[in-house]
Chains A and B, each alone.
Chain A
Amino acid sequence: MSFISYLINGISLGSVYAIIALGYTMVYGIAKMLNFAHGDVIMVGGFTVFFAVSMQGLPTAVGILLSVVLCTLLGITIEYIAYRPLRQAASSLAVLITAIGVSYFLQNMALLIFGANTKAFTSVVTLPAIKLAEGQIIISGETIVTIISCIIIMTGLTLFINKTKAGQAMLAVSEDKGAAQLMGINVNGTISLTFAIGSALAAIAGMLLCSAYPSLTPYTGSMPGIKAFVAAVFGGIGSIPGALIGGVILGIIEILSKAYISSQLADAIVFMVLIIVLLVKPTGILGKKIQEKV
């Protein structure tokens, strides 16, 4: 019985990783850059909801909307100021480093505005928990909402990319920026759109992360951000269904290794499994095989 309960805990932790990983993988897939600031956009999303709902007393729906809009604008701004000038840079590492700078900036900005004290986040989910087997197994409302959101976002993104003109443009840009431009695609606009969608997803992820684990500090986003990055790589970075699978598997491994092996060494075990998976399947579970050109 306790195994099932651990498994459910793993899935609920994994679903949080998955929803963050979706945003990561989306940006990576199109813009081909690791956005280290993604975790901090999540934190901004969480703080916006907290500010609107808990401090100003606005309705939850307004808070969520505000957070999505703000994060979208933030994503576009960050892309315009910090990433766009470096798109043609000699090394792709340059933009990785500015992303780290942006991450520091957002953390310290939040620290100055909201202070370092932990804030308890009021869950935006009102769905009651499901209790099975006389209360032995509990599935929280947050978990259900998170999983459903993951699936909706995943389907939505896949449809958007494959069925709409803007989505096709994104695919073209990710394939070959130069050729896409020649075909009349607005490359800058398309990448801006990618960041806008990625950041809107970050706002939703931030809200659900804080609902599931209701503690909010300026550093809330950084560790889940890295874990979600790991999850995205796990599932094959750039692959949208891979992010979901990677996140859930990562969550389950983390919980089970804590439960059955050692709670002190859980981090080491999770990373060990990741390494083994990548050694067996070097591009992750659902990653595409990269053709090397001679």
Chain B
Amino acid sequence: MKKFKKGMSLVLVAAMIMLVGCSSSTNTNTSDNSSSNESAEAGTSEAGETSASNGSVFKIGAIGPSTGGAAVYGLAVQNGADLAIKEINAAGGINGTLIEYNFQDDECDNEKSINAYNTLKDWGMQMLVGSTTSGCCIAVAAESANDNLFQITPSGSSVDCINSNDNVYQVCFTDPNQGVGAAQYIGEHAVAQKVAVIYDSSDVYSSGIYEKFVQEAANQPFEIVSAEAFTADNKTDFSVQLQKAKDTGAELVFLPIYYTEASLILTQAAAMDYAPKFFGCDGLDGILNVENFDTALAEGVMLLTPFAADAEDDATKAFVSAYEAAYGDTPNQFAADAYDAVYILKAAIEKSGATPEESVSDLCEKLKGAMAEITVDGLTGEAMSWDADGAVNKAPKAMEIVNGNYSLIQ
């Protein structure tokens, strides 16, 4: 026992020295907001694939869960951003400057997300694409606001991500925006009179949309007849929630949740011969790509989403085929958001004429100025523009699943 402790202490000391040692080589100048020049050499060895012609590169970091229960979203962001950066580098970079990319895992934990952020800072990150999930994004935004580092989150949809931090921008819609939008769409198009809601009460995204949906529903000509929750620990059996919806005669079930659980809900509803209209938000996108999923079950599902992997426009087609070739997986909305986030960064850099030699803070100020002016056409929306808070203005598309494909509702 004793000896082991001594051994452990040695390991510990070695670990400390390693950490400190690493830091002194990569980042001797955290205090004065490191410019990329000094730290570039340390970073290139890691990122490897890029070598800048003039010795300076833009360093873009990304954060998301690549392990743990939310890994599917983080891995999509990792790959989506990676694809965009490879494309940009292959085309000669931004204004002739190449990009270096580094993704860090946060396991969907607020504290780990800050560790990931600090790791990226040590690497010399100048702009951040992240975090992927709302909770982590709120925690990281507080840090990046402190450093005045430009942050664009592909999918952190809570308003708390952008409120009170003017350096943070969103690619996705905010939760209230989606909840209100869904209620208005159902009301205006008279999709149904009686509506049931099934939501995840332990999830920030889901409970955020649910709340605003209920609030807005009071002004709309439909009635919420049942609102049932599930939790992260209890998400395999939905028979009770569906039974309640069925018993109250709901014609439409609103699902402000992710597609993983939604695929189970659809299967279980079919097993109990209950066939209402299902209506979802952007989290539902990806349901047709669940491997081996019987897409007939999703027939007629309506969703308000900015992106659909089956869309027919050229940009989406090119993105989907490139993504499938590179990562062997069909991209979901998170991948598209991250892909767009990188191109939005590119547009903002080009607009502001920023160069990698500037300090993180100066770069952030320039990009903030540019964000108010640019409009970007991306996979997840046409003519996206940003307000002073950092929220995106774009039109949601209402989709319906017909014959196993998404089709736009006119």
A and B touch in the complex (CB under 8 A): yes
- Which residues of chain A have a CB within 8 Å of any CB of chain B? 2, 5-6, 9, 12-13, 50, 54, 108, 111, 115-122, 129, 135, 138, 140, 213-215, 217-219, 223-224, 254-255, 258-259, 263-264, 266-267
Contacts of A259 in B (CB 8 A): 240, 243-244
Provide the bound-state CA to CA distance between A255 and B259, in Å.
23
B239→A255 contact, CB < 8 A = yes
Distance A3 CA – B249 CA, assembled complex (angstroms): 17
> How many angstroms between the C-alpha atoms of A54 and B291 in the bound complex?
10
Return the contact of A118 from the options B66, B236, B247, B263 (Cβ within 8 A): B263
CB distance B231 to A267 under 8 Å? Answer: yes
Closest residue of chain A to B65 (Cβ to Cβ) is A116
Q: A115-B75, A118-B263, A138-B273 are in contact. Are A50 and B292 (CB under 8 A)?
A: yes
With a cutoff of 8 Å between Cβ atoms, the chain A residues found around residue B75 in the complex are 115-116
Residue of A nearest to B293 (CB): A120
In the complex, what's the smallest C-beta–C-beta distance from A113 to chain B, in angstroms? 12
B299 located at the interface, meaning its Cβ lies under 8 Å from any Cβ of chain A in the complex? no
Report the 3 A-B pairs with minimum CB-CB distance, sorted nearest first: A116-B71, A120-B293, A116-B72
Q: List 7 A-B contacts (CB under 8 A).
A: A6-B239, A115-B72, A116-B75, A122-B292, A215-B261, A219-B68, A255-B237
CB distance from A51 to the nearest CB of B (A): 11
Given known contacts A120-B293, A259-B244, what 6 new A-B pairs fall within 8 Å (CB)? A9-B240, A115-B329, A118-B291, A255-B239, A264-B201, A267-B231
Nearest Cβ distance between residue A24 and chain B, in whole angstroms?
A: 18
Are the C-beta atoms of B273 and A5 separated by less than 8 Å? no
Task: Determine, out of B12-20, B141-149, B174-182, B264-272, the stretch whose residues face the partner at the interface.
Answer: B264-272
Which of A5, A9, A263 contacts B230, CB < 8 Å? A263
> Which of A129, A214, A223 counts the most B-chain CB atoms under 10 A from its CB?
A214
Task: Flag whether B290 is at the interface (Cβ < 8 A).
Answer: yes
B72 in contact with A118 (CB, 8 Å): yes
User: Within the complex, which residue of B72, B230, B273 is in contact with A117, where a contact is CB–CB below 8 Å?
Assistant: B72
Known contacts A213-B264, A215-B264: does B236 contact A120 (CB below 8 Å)? no
Inter-subunit contact B290/A119 (CB<8 Å)? yes
- CB under 8 Å from chain A, chain B span 134-172: none
B-side contacts of A218, CB under 8 Å: 71
Q: Are B234 and A138 in contact (CB under 8 A)?
A: no
B133 at the interface (CB under 8 A from A): no
Given A5-B243, A259-B240, A264-B201, also A138-B271 (CB < 8 A): yes
- CB nearest to A119 among chain B residues: B291
- Nearest chain B CB to A260 CB, angstrom units: 9
**Beyond A215-B260, A224-B236, is A263–B241 a contact (Cβ under 8 Å)?**
yes
Specify which chain B residues have a CB less than 8 angstroms from the CB of A254 in the assembled complex. Answer: 234, 237
| CB-contacts of B283-310 with A (<8 A) | 289-294
Check B237 against A13 for contact (C-beta < 8 Å). yes
For the complex, is B49 an interface residue (Cβ under 8 Å from A)? no
A10 shortest CB reach to chain B, Å: 9
* B229 proximal to A (CB < 8 A): yes
Nearest Cβ distance between residue B69 and chain A, in whole angstroms?
A: 5
User: Quick one: closest B residue to A50, CB to CB?
Assistant: B292
Q: Please measure, in the bound complex, the distance between the C-alpha atom of A50 and the C-alpha atom of B290, giving whole angstroms.
A: 13
A272 to chain B, nearest CB (A): 14
CB of A108 within 8 A of CB of B272, answer no
A13 to B230, CA, bound (A): 15
* Residues of chain A within 8 A of B68, CB atoms compared: 219
User: B278 → chain A, closest Cβ, in Å?
Assistant: 16
Give the complex CA separation of A218 and B65 in angstroms.
Answer: 14
